[in-house]
Amino acid sequence: MAGSLCDAQETYKDNLLLNNVIPKPLSINRADGRFELKPTTTFYYTKDAQVPIGVFTELLKGSTGINFKTAPLKQEKQGIFFITSDTLNSLGNEGYQLKISTQSIRVYARTAAGIFNATQTLRQLFPADIETTIGKKKVNWSIPCGEITDKPRYSWRGYMQDVSRTFYGVDVMKKYMDVMALYKLNVMHLHLTDDQGWRIEIKKYPKLTSPQTTVFDASSKQPAERSGFYTQNQIRELVKYATARNIKIIPEIDVPGHSWPTILAYPELGVNQNRKPEYVFPFLDSWSHWGNQFTPNTLDPTNEKVYSFLDDVFTELAELFPAEYIHFGGDEVRHVLWEKEPHVQAFMKEKSFKNTNELQSYFASRVSAIIKAKGKKPIGWNDILSDKKNLTKETAIMSWLGDEAITDAAKNGFYAVATPTDPFYFDITQADRNDGTMSDLAYGNINSVEKVYNYEPEAGLSTEEGKFVLGVQGNQWTAITQELKDMNVQNFPRLLALAEIGWIPKDNRNFDNFKDRLLINRNRLEALKIDYYKPGGYITGKWKPEQLANDYQNIEWDVTKKTYANGRIIAGFYYTNGANFMEIRKVELLENGKVVAQDEHNGIADKFRGTHKTKSFLYHLQLNNYNPKAKYTLRASVKGINGTDSNGNFTYNLSPYDRLNGIEPR
């Protein structure tokens, strides 16, 4: 870095109490002065502290241009010190203490995890420029003096990424882990299999990762990047990356429902002979193929080959993932398919099962035993509690079906992760049904950031029952939010709210204070090239009755500010009110008055927001030769239907091809 690190162009507050750290630290005391990071600053460490500071020093090298010296701690007095000690029991496994003076920063923790968490607090105490690569701008790399003592409320602070319904590569997962680490989220739950694709290589069953089970059929016209799977070497790479960031990756193989790819590859494992169509396809195409969102086939709970298959699969998973849990799904199993099969009914009679809930518990217990035999702990969605009296207590529960699911688990002695649909499903809208984001799966709830922040996972539980709550987790289902940009907008800033409630005691929460810190953290998200939700979402304009006629005419919107890179564009027409709907027949993108992209089909802007039919009101365009000096206009040919009393929102959403580095300008 040229020049002194002290040559500041930005001014930062001198009071440590006025920090913008998320999650909010447990205890802070201020002192006078500032610690200044200099090119000569050395990072000293004791045993067990060297590895967890590696990510931090590498980040600083990228942003400052300085390769800071690291060395074992002896008797030094100046510098940054990372010290682990078995005597710091009050800090727990992930807590830490920071003592910042003008001469040194001293970091104390009982474990390497605590040291790592301390580095992420230091990361947030430095300017947001720490998230960028070295540039010409000179930055004040200093921190106010004082002390911070901090530790988390919960040991499970998770984020679930659905990579089955839409696949995301290693690069995307690494970026997400970087952001998770920054905000001290420590569990990444990978939903690796579902009806839309099998996404992990299993050596013993190569057909699981054939194109038939991992590549969306060409008829769905999906971009190639949304298909694929992780090789075992890539999984090892992800696990190594996660471990360096104090993150555990929990793999999920969803059985016995949501198993379409498995049944396509190995039909002998299915409960029936239904295998149409013989390929995988996006979630929203389910209704046209099956008449609903659920597959017409499941794994056969009466077939010993199924358990042998799962034994083999979980053997390979246990070797790949060092985390203590393996997730086996168990949700949304269509029991009606079992009720229709004579051989299943005969099996139930033989076992004296009264109903299919008991059969599912039988399946869950068999799978739990398999996972336990691998030295792992089983965990499944709370659907498996339907016959709780026959389910082993060693199976943990991921509670998604409301508060009662958490209560049901905890009161019956099952460890549970709180991940209720309301408010922790981040594919759900966050302001209202017309908030300008990509529409969700038509859930009845709205999951605002305030609702996320104010959620209490132990509500209604006694102190003893509360001990069964392992923590909290936000889920991102990628049925509709397929573009990375859309996923980021749905996740942020809600994921930061979840990170805070998973970390701090419930009595320490203050939403107004959180909002203030969140405002500053927008700069950090932008530095990380992460899009986040802004009020109004992608709403770029509106239509009103006076713009419509009973025959087709054009409406135009200036979309120059929303057009900023080469990428895929979705133009949406969302009816909001009025006596009449609107019909669209063609949408064109103009660059300096010349058409550069168009989508021509008949669409209706009406009340529909569901998933069971084609969203004809969405128009898809591509921009491949972006000109930053051009004016861009969106032109739509529209008319009123049986009248012109129609109002609605026009949305314009460009997702850059360079999805890791391109964000929409603020």
- Domain spans of the chain, in order of start: 17-150, 156-502, 539-656
| pLDDT value at residue 196 | 98
Q: How far apart are CA 278 and CA 281, in angstroms?
A: 10
DSSP 545: G
User: Crossing angle of helices 494-503/484-491, nearest 10°?
Assistant: 40
Q: Which residues lie closer than 8 Å to 595 by C-beta, 6 or more apart?
A: 588, 589
DSSP string, 369-434: HHHHHTT-EEEEEGGGGGGGGGS-TTSEEEE-S-HHHHHHHHHTT--EEE--HHHHBTTS-SS-TT
Q: Rounded mean pLDDT of 130-139?
A: 79
| pLDDT value at residue 11 | 40
Q: What angle do CA 206, 210, 211 make, to 5 degrees?
A: 175
SS3 content of the chain, % helix, strand, coil (to 5): 35, 25, 40
List 475's β-bridge partners, or say none: 160, 425
pLDDT exceeds 60 at position 527? yes
Tens of pLDDT, residue by residue over 404-430, are 999 999 999 999 999 999 999 999 999
| pLDDT value at residue 3 | 38
pLDDT exceeds 60 at position 2? no
- 332 a catalytic residue: yes
Q: How far apart are CA 328 and CA 372, in angstroms?
A: 12
Q: How far apart are CA 198 and CA 228, in angstroms?
A: 8
Tens of pLDDT, residue by residue over 256-267, are 999 999 999 999
Range 156-502 has CATH code 3.40.50.300: no
How far apart, in Å, are the Cα atoms of 140 and each of 21, 129, 206?
18, 10, 54
Instruction: Please report which confidence band the pLDDT of residue 57 belongs to, taking 50, 70 and 90 as the band edges.
Output: very high
Q: Rounded mean pLDDT of 242-269?
A: 98
For the chain, the average pLDDT equals: 94
pLDDT exceeds 90 at position 364? yes
Contact by Cβ (8 Å): 37, 8: no
Q: How far apart are CA 368 and CA 389, in angstroms?
A: 15
Closest CA to 134 of 527, 575, 642, 576: 527
Q: Which residues of 23-52 are buried (b: 16+ CB within 10 A; e: fewer)?
A: bbbbebeeeeebbebbeebebbbeebbbeb
Q: Which CATH class is domain 539-656?
A: mainly beta
* Phi (first) and psi of residue 652, to 5 degrees: -140, 115
Q: Rounded mean pLDDT of 535-558?
A: 97
Contact by Cβ (8 Å): 530, 514: no
Tens of pLDDT, residue by residue over 171-228, are 999 999 999 999 999 999 999 999 999 999 999 999 999 999 999 999 999 999 999 9
| pLDDT value at residue 162 | 98
Percent of the chain with pLDDT over 70: 97
Q: Which of 76, 332, 339, 456 is catalytic?
A: 332
Tens of pLDDT, residue by residue over 349-361, are 999 999 999 999 9
pLDDT higher at 76 or 41: 41
pLDDT exceeds 80 at position 4? no
pLDDT exceeds 50 at position 10? no
Tens of pLDDT, residue by residue over 582-633, are 999 999 999 999 999 999 999 999 998 888 888 999 999 999 999 999 999 9
Range 17-150 has CATH code 3.30.379.10: yes
Q: How far apart are CA 529 and CA 659, in angstroms?
A: 9
Q: How far apart are CA 662 and CA 175, in angstroms?
A: 13
| pLDDT value at residue 492 | 98
Q: How far apart are CA 504 and CA 471, in angstroms?
A: 12
| pLDDT value at residue 135 | 63
How far apart, in Å, are the Cα atoms of 589 and each of 597, 652, 653?
5, 11, 12
Tokens of 10: 């930005």
Instruction: Please report which confidence band the pLDDT of residue 433 belongs to, taking 50, 70 and 90 as the band edges.
Output: confident
Instruction: Please report which confidence band the pLDDT of residue 1 belongs to, taking 50, 70 and 90 as the band edges.
Output: very low
